[in-house]
Structure 1
Amino acid sequence: MNNYKLTIQYDGGRYKGWQRLGDNDNTIQAKIENVLTELAEEKIEIIGSGRTDAGVHALAQIANFKMRKHATENEVMQYLNRYLPHDISITHVKLMDHRFHSRYNAKDKTYLYKIWNEQYTHPFMRKYSMHVDQKLDIEKMRKAAQYFIGKHDFTSYSNAKSKKKSMEREIYSLKISENAGFIEIKIRGNGFLYNMVRKITGTLIEVGVGDMDASAIPGILKSKERIQTGRMADSEGLYLERVGF
């Protein structure tokens, strides 16, 4: 049994997220599995390093799959890129040890969020960034970002439904930069809950426009009450940038 690692880029705008949803094949996972099943001549299931929500993009999602048929790395890559929709690309294929697991072996993930911070819209990036027309105070946002770094229970900053799984995650870094009208928020951690990055970004935006004081964040984390986090940032500005192993 051959175990292949895929590095995947996708525009998530027209998909219902990463994970296959029953009979609905309008997901990234389903599109790739359907093509691989044709290649392998057997039912193939791919394992992603994590799920991305509907509308969220990826610069380097990692997945792996196993198949009995032997094909070279280049053959797998060429076949996938030939038959996948043009908004999904396989940028690298590597034949791995049979023990490699893209989810269990992942050590950290980095997400990137893009904000277009001008009064006017950006015609070419409106599907790939969130438009905030009020001027954001970057220094206030950077101060607020420090409260998220470290280990916390992120119940307040998630829409995860399971009450059995731990809501504790560790944020290693949260950096905010500005360039030519764009504000980029880059967050790296050992894992992320459902909607966690978008809710954290929403809070940073509220701080940046003056609707919230950064000092309120520790209390929101401690409260574990989701209603306190306010607006969640839009999906189109979010990218899975990197998965570390």
Structure 2
Amino acid sequence: MLSRPCSYLFEISYFGARFKGWAKQKGQPTIEGKLERVFRFVLGHEDFRLIGSSRTDSGVSCRQGFVQLFLREKTDLEPLLPLFNLNLSGEIVLSAVREIPRDLNLIQAVSQKTYRYYFASEQGFPSFASAFITQVDQFDTLEKMEEKARIFVGKLDFRAFCKVSPTKTDFEREVLEAKVYQTKEFEGPFYPEIVYCFEVTGTGFLYHQVRKMVSAIWHFPPEEIKERLANPERESPQVPTAPSHGLVLWETLLKDF
């Protein structure tokens, strides 16, 4: 018999700058850690379990993701949303909740994710903008960056564009769309006059994959990107990892939802 037979799905967004990523770490502020503390306080017990649809890195924000909650008893959580959010202090927001089948595997239910990475030139860069936008000393023209982004589209081996771990053996991922464009999402005295966005949609991503793709789009010639994708095991200097604070998990889609 299942010890926690009731399952609920929350939609979540968060500002990641003050957190050391999603996963709970001893002595460090994390999204999972803060959620657990607030759930313990609001529910009045710790007989629950949480699973996130994505384990974002330190400093990475999320506009739309999901959290699955397992409970021992059926509970009406909708009226508790305001209390959850009050204690999450605005940095994390739970925007909706619904009961779902207990056997739904949230990680496997993710069908695709879209990330956006915002960046701008160092010239005329307001300090407040650093919360969401990465300041870059130099990068290629928009036309060249658009060309390089398209090279990443397809089912490819991204071994050269991720942080490799000894336990990882599968480096093939499918990128459905990748583009670079000038965005109007940030306007006003707190932001640079021109802000660019790298947007990528895929069925899944490796550790640091998006941030290494961004770095390559800034600085690598197209031929170097093609060569690294075609020969992922070639011995060569690592692709630099772009800073985390420009990255946002923009959208998460689940199968059959």
| TM-score, scaled relative to structure 1 | 0.90
1:77 to 74, 78, 81: 81
Q: Superposition RMSD on alpha carbons, in Å?
A: 1.9
Asked if residue 215 in structure 1 is aligned to residue 223 in structure 2, the reply is yes
CA distance in 2, matches of 1:190, 1:26: 29
Contact kept? 1:116, 1:122, Cα under 8 Å: no
Give the CA deviation at 1:70: 3.2
1:115 to 112, 119, 134: 119
CA distance in 1, matches of 2:133, 2:75: 38
Give the CA deviation at 1:233: 0.9
1:27 to 27, 30, 41: 30
Amino acid at match of 1:81: N
Amino acid at match of 2:175: I
Alignment of 1:9-20 (within 5 A): 9-20=13-24
Greater mean alpha carbon deviation, residues 2-11 or residues 183-192 = 2-11
1:199 to 198, 212, 229: 212
Aligned with 1:223: secondary structure? Answer: coil
Asked if residue 47 in structure 1 is aligned to residue 51 in structure 2, the reply is yes
Give the CA deviation at 1:59: 0.4
Partner residue, 1:237: 246
In structure 2, list runs of 5 or more residues that go unmatched. Answer: 184-192
Aligned with 1:124: secondary structure? Answer: helix
CA distance in 2, matches of 1:213, 1:232: 16
In structure 1, list runs of 5 or more residues that go unmatched. Answer: 207-211
Cα 1:226–1:47 change in 2 (3 A) is farther
Asked if residue 189 in structure 1 is aligned to residue 202 in structure 2, the reply is yes
Amino acid at match of 1:219: E
CA distance in 2, matches of 1:100, 1:73: 19
Cα 1:177–1:98 change in 2 (3 A) is same
Contact kept? 1:40, 1:69, Cα under 8 Å: no
Partner residue, 1:209: none
Contact kept? 2:161, 2:239, Cα under 8 Å: no
